[in-house]
Amino acid sequence: GVNAMHILKTRGLDMAICLSSLLVSRPEVREIIDRGDMIPDTLVGDMLLEALLVEGC
C-alpha cells in the first residue's frame, strides 16, 4: 500500500511479499478457498512469517 516502502525501509526488508500469490500456492489454502471458507488468520500469519524468516525475503 501507500506506506509499503517506508515499512520495508524501517524494518530492514529488501522487498515486499505478494501474500495473495503466497496463499494460493499452498494446496491446503487452495482447498479452503475452493470451499468458500475464510483462511484462518493463524495460517496467514504463519505463512507470512515463514516467507519473511525462512525464505529470507
Query: Does the residue 51 lie in any domain?
Result: yes
- pLDDT at residue 34 in the model: 94
Cell of 16: 515486499
Query: Does the residue 12 lie in any domain?
Result: no
- The dihedral of CA 23, 24, 29, 32: what is its sign? positive
Query: Does the residue 7 lie in any domain?
Result: no
What share of the chain has pLDDT > 70, as a percent?
91
**Length of the chain (residues):** 57
Give the structural domain span for 55: 17-57
- Could you read off the pLDDT of 15-33 as tens digits, one per residue? 777 777 878 888 999 999 9
For the chain, the domain total comes to 1
Answer yes or no: is pLDDT of 55 > 80: no
Query: Does the residue 24 lie in any domain?
Result: yes
Query: Does the residue 40 lie in any domain?
Result: yes
Query: Does the residue 1 lie in any domain?
Result: no
Query: Does the residue 39 lie in any domain?
Result: yes
Q: Which residues contact 13 (CB under 8 A, 6 or more apart)?
A: 7, 52, 57
Answer yes or no: is pLDDT of 57 > 80: no
Query: Does the residue 10 lie in any domain?
Result: no
